[in-house]
Amino acid sequence: MDLANHIKPEHIFRDLRVRDWTLASEMLADAVAAGAIDRSGSSVMTLDTSAGESSHRAPLFIAPGGAVVHDRRAHVTDITFALASLKEPLALPDGDGAAEVVLYILSGPERSAWALKAAGHFRTLLAEEGLRERLSTMSREALHAWLTGLDLRLDAPVLARDIMRPPLFKVFADTPVTEVTRLMEKHRSNAVAVVDREEHIIGEITSNRLFKLGIPEFFERLASVSFIREFDPFEHYYTQTGQARAGEVMTTDFTVLPEDATIMEVVFTLTVQNHRKIYVVRDGRRVGVIDRVEIINKVLNF
Amino acid sequence: MTVLLIIFAITYALIATDKIDKTIAALLGGGLAIGTGYISYEDALRAVDLNVIFLLVGMMMVINIIGRTGGFEWMAIRLAQAARGNGLVILVLFLVATAVISAFLDNVTTVLLMAPVTFLIAQILEIPVVPFLILEAVFSNIGGTATLVGDPPNVLIGSATGFSFNTFLWHLSPVVVVIGVVSLGVVVLVYGPQFRVNPALKDRVRRARPELAILDHRLLRWSMVVFALILLGFFLGRPLGIEPGLVALCGGAAMALVGRVSIAHVLERVEWNTILFFVGLFMLVGALEHNGLFDLLGRQMLSVTGGNLLLTCLLILVVSALASAIVDNIPLVIALIPLLQSIAPDFAQSMNITDPALVQSTVMYPLFWSLALGACLGGNGTLVGASANVVIAQVAARNRHPISFAQFTRIGLPIMLLNIVIGAVYVWWRYF
């Protein structure tokens, strides 16, 4: 049950020319179905419609420069992959940058865990094994042989490193809070780790924490404030917070898990222990993050 | 007996100094008294006054339900509008409201409910919040003195002596009204200039819409109906043989029922640490009583005062007031109640009174009203004298307006001394 067993050399493409993600996923889907794409980048066959409608084909940001397109179809029983480097990077939705390397996964609902595991392997190959460079320098056969030589088991337990996403930005202790809030808003993040220059996590800033720093405590004890119609002292309330730096407002109450933590541990930490975000660390250094919505999305949609 | 006294002294020292959580100190003290054999477990359980426990739990349930209706916010903004945004009038109205509410609800809860709206109004009108909060704590302690349910010392005295809610009202509320009015006069004279409001800011209060403060009209309506029935139960309870504890407990349950509030959520917010603090102290003091300590101390006290009832009352008033200014008044009262109960028969005997009703009116009333006035009003002397003071200081600190010990004492101590003098004159005038 190895990833390499489910990808043929002819499913590995270099410098694929596509204009958008729909086209990219259609081409790769057809290639997996037919086993070929012609030289111009056009597919020669289309995926058998009896395999059912695709339930999810939006590209998912998996690591800087890389995305996964998971094509889940009701009547597909096995799992098949295609791997492609793109001639021109394609912008990812949700402002997650652009992808130059795509892993396409065609699977049925029963292979969701394998798909999740494959996405994890893909992230590691991109981030740590130089997959992007190998795609541009190695032949299909050589790359396939290289993949075959790696331990890319699909039926291994899903671990934190398989479902985490890379940190999108860095906040240091001396980053002004105004910059932190700008980055949090840009990346739609409710919590962010504060790290040192070696990526050791030293604290966490949450939007809830920032709110509470500005709002006086008595505010929370009121049953209602709607009766006050003309009084908005918030500029005054947040004066101090706005002038602070990350190190002054962070809390040290954050949650870390090693990258080999099981999905069970991750879910337990997020739900039973009621943490909103988990920072995944290797040797004490942050390598990824997992939050509640992400894990629910991956478990439900993968 | 020496070991028991050591346990007692260490427990009280720990409670007074806050070295460890006072509930833990009280429970360990009570447990040790049983463990060392000074009192049997059965007798210790009998020493726990369930009437007090039920009253506290019941009233905590009631406050929890009323607090979520938005009724306090409504009242506060209505008062501010009635005062037309005048800072001094708002101060006076808030202090009167605090005192009146404190007479029927626990002081700590009253200040916890009043403090947020006080902060809001003070910020809106740009008036000083620290003296405002300190005075609210002071007036909650004054108001709490007026009734059986207003302050824990009175709850304890009422349960131990069997004095009814109406008896408390008849004997204590007149002097509390006098104390309140005189204290308000002093407040107006001393703090009036600090509470002037810029006319432009008064519009903020004028344009407020109090009707929007009420979050749950139905719950507010029903909780007020049940609260009125609880008060009626307090008034009529003793003649009917229904203790205040039962009235409060059933009242809390009835309020949850008619208000359709989850009883589990209501009970979660009951301050169980306070309840268990009482349980531990009851057991510890029960052990002391069981071993005759209070008879001994009572005889000592009588020898100091020469058997003079007035002098004894004044001594109790002053000592309990000064002690309450420094340490928690609850353990003090729990310890003093059996002491007073032990000396009362001696006074009755020396005055040749045998009729129980006459013993009550001639001996018990002056003794216990002195204790109530001293213990309740003495708490105003310092920041640590009463739970309401400590709580208001915590709230103020969390809102970036710390109250120092000296700040509180400057305001609280003169008012407390004035109140004690008025209380002493009242006891002398009414009972001798």
Q: Write the DSSP string, B298-346.
A: HHHHHHHHTT-HHHHHHHHHHHHHHHHHHS-HHHHHHHHHHHHHHHHHH
Beta-carbon separation of A217 and B207 below 8 A? no
Residue A204 clears pLDDT 70, i.e. is over it: yes
User: Which of A217, A222, A230 lies at the smallest CB-CB distance from B120?
Assistant: A222
User: Which of A224, A228, A229 lies at the smallest CB-CB distance from B215?
Assistant: A224
- Burial of residue A23, with CB atoms counted within 10 A of its CB: 0-12 exposed, 13-18 middle, 19 or more buried: middle
Measure Cα distances from B305 to B161, B302, B314, B344 in Å: 23, 5, 10, 14
Of A189-193, A219-223, B278-282, B327-331, the least confident: B327-331
pLDDT of res. A44: 42
Asked if B110 and B116 touch (Cβ cutoff 8 Å), the reply is no
Q: What share of chain A is helix, strand, coil (3-state, %, to 5)?
A: 40, 25, 30
Which one of B109, B112, B120, B130 would you mutate to disrupt binding with A, by most A Cβ within 10 Å of its Cβ? B120
Q: Please, which pLDDT band fits residue A56 given cuts at 50, 70 and 90? A: low
Beta-carbon separation of B120 and A230 below 8 A? no
Tell me how far apart the alpha carbons of residues B157 and B359 are, in angstroms, rounded to a whole number.
Answer: 16
pLDDT of res. A36: 41
Please give, rounded to a whole number of angstroms, the shortest distance from the CA of A300 to a CA of chain B. 33
Beta-carbon separation of A218 and B120 below 8 A? yes
Please give, rounded to a whole number of angstroms, the shortest distance from the CA of A241 to a CA of chain B. 14
Asked if B243 and B237 touch (Cβ cutoff 8 Å), the reply is yes
Which chain B residue's Cα is nearest to A240? Answer: B400
Tell me how far apart the alpha carbons of residues A218 and B76 are, in angstroms, rounded to a whole number.
Answer: 14
Helix axis angle, B129-144 to B387-398, nearest 10°: 160
Of the candidates B291, B396, B372, the residue with the CA atom closest to the CA atom of residue A216: B396
Helix axis angle, A177-186 to A207-214, nearest 10°: 140
Backbone angles phi, psi at A69, to 5 degrees: -110, 115
The tens-digit pLDDT sequence of chain B (432 residues) is: 889 999 999 998 888 777 888 899 999 999 999 999 999 999 999 999 898 899 889 988 998 899 889 998 999 999 999 999 999 999 999 999 999 999 998 888 889 889 999 999 999 999 999 999 999 999 999 999 999 999 989 999 999 999 999 999 999 999 999 999 999 999 999 998 899 998 889 988 989 999 999 999 999 999 999 999 999 998 888 778 888 899 999 999 999 999 999 999 999 988 898 899 889 989 998 998 888 887 788 788 788 888 899 999 999 999 999 988 887 788 889 989 999 999 999 899 988 988 999 999 999 999 999 999 999 999 999 988 888 898 899 889 888 899 998 999 999 999 999 999 999 999 999 999
Please give, rounded to a whole number of angstroms, the shortest distance from the CA of A203 to a CA of chain B. 22
Tell me how far apart the alpha carbons of residues A263 and A265 are, in angstroms, rounded to a whole number.
Answer: 5
The number of residues in chain B equals 432
Beta-carbon separation of A228 and B74 below 8 A? no
Of the candidates B29, B14, B22, B57, the residue with the CA atom closest to the CA atom of residue B244: B57
Which residues of A fall within a CB distance of 8 Å from B85? none
Residue A238 sits at the vertex; the CA angle it makes with A235 and A244, to the nearest 5 degrees, is 135
Please give, rounded to a whole number of angstroms, the shortest distance from the CA of A215 to a CA of chain B. 9
Residue A51 clears pLDDT 80, i.e. is over it: no
Instruction: Enumerate residues 6+ apart whose C-beta is below 8 A from B191.
Output: B88, B91, B131, B135
Q: Does A226 touch chain B (CB under 8 A)?
A: yes
Which one of A213, A215, A218 would you mutate to disrupt binding with B, by most B Cβ within 10 Å of its Cβ? A218
- Count of CA atoms in the C-beta half-sphere (13 A) of A215: 13
Which chain B residue's Cα is nearest to A223? Answer: B70
Q: Please, which pLDDT band fits residue A216 given cuts at 50, 70 and 90? A: confident
Q: Comparing A290 with B306, which gets the higher pLDDT? A: A290
pLDDT of res. A259: 93
Q: How far is C-alpha A171 from the chain's CA centre?
A: 19
Of the candidates B309, B327, B331, B427, the residue with the CA atom closest to the CA atom of residue B373: B427
Residue B331 sits at the vertex; the CA angle it makes with B328 and B334, to the nearest 5 degrees, is 140
Which residues of A fall within a CB distance of 8 Å from B72? 223
Which residue reads 């929890």 in tokens? B64
Domains of chain A listed by start with CATH number: 3-155 (3.40.930.10), 171-301 (3.10.580.10)
Of A32-36, A118-122, B287-291, B341-345, the least confident: A32-36
Sequence letter at residue A186: K
**What value does the mean pLDDT of chain A take?**
86
Tell me how far apart the alpha carbons of residues B213 and A50 are, in angstroms, rounded to a whole number.
Answer: 60
Residues 202-221 of chain A with CB under 8 A from chain B are: 216-219, 221
Please give, rounded to a whole number of angstroms, the shortest distance from the CA of A205 to a CA of chain B. 20
Of the candidates B313, B357, B306, the residue with the CA atom closest to the CA atom of residue B336: B313
Of A20-24, A26-30, A37-41, B356-360, the least confident: A37-41
pLDDT of res. A42: 47
Which residues of B fall within a CB distance of 8 Å from A219? 116
Of the candidates B167, B164, B172, the residue with the CA atom closest to the CA atom of residue B369: B172
Which one of A219, A220, A222 would you mutate to disrupt binding with B, by most B Cβ within 10 Å of its Cβ? A222
Alpha helix (H) ranges present in chain A?
Answer: 21-34, 112-128, 131-137, 140-149, 160-163, 177-186, 207-214, 217-221, 234-237, 239-243, 246-249, 263-271, 292-301
The token pair at A206 is 């949450």
Which residues of A fall within a CB distance of 8 Å from B210? 227
Tell me how far apart the alpha carbons of residues A92 and A58 are, in angstroms, rounded to a whole number.
Answer: 9
Q: Does A232 touch chain B (CB under 8 A)?
A: no
Which chain A residue's Cα is nearest to B71? Answer: A223
- Count of CA atoms in the C-beta half-sphere (13 A) of B341: 17
Sequence letter at residue B197: V
Report ipTM (2 d.p.): 0.75
Q: Please, which pLDDT band fits residue A145 given cuts at 50, 70 and 90? A: very high
Tell me how far apart the alpha carbons of residues B158 and B247 are, in angstroms, rounded to a whole number.
Answer: 14
Alpha helix (H) ranges present in B83-163?
Answer: 87-104, 107-125, 129-144, 152-161
Q: In this structure, is the dihedral angle defined by the CA atoms of residues A300, A60, A106 and A111, taken in order, positive or negative?
A: negative
Which one of B212, B216, B391 would you mutate to disrupt binding with A, by most A Cβ within 10 Å of its Cβ? B212
Sequence letter at residue B27: L
Residues 233-272 of chain A with CB under 8 A from chain B are: 233
The token pair at A222 is 């009121």
Burial B366-383 (b: 16+ CB within 10 A, else e): bbbbbbbbbbbbbbbbbb
Which residues of B fall within a CB distance of 8 Å from A230? 203-204, 207-208
Beta-carbon separation of B67 and A233 below 8 A? no
Q: Comparing A298 with A100, which gets the higher pLDDT? A: A100
Q: How far is C-alpha A61 from the chain's CA centre?
A: 5
Which residues of A fall within a CB distance of 8 Å from B213? 223-224, 226-227
Give the mean model confidence (pLDDT) for residues A266-293.
Answer: 91
Q: In this structure, is the dihedral angle defined by the CA atoms of residues B337, B343, B349 and B350, taken in order, positive or negative?
A: negative
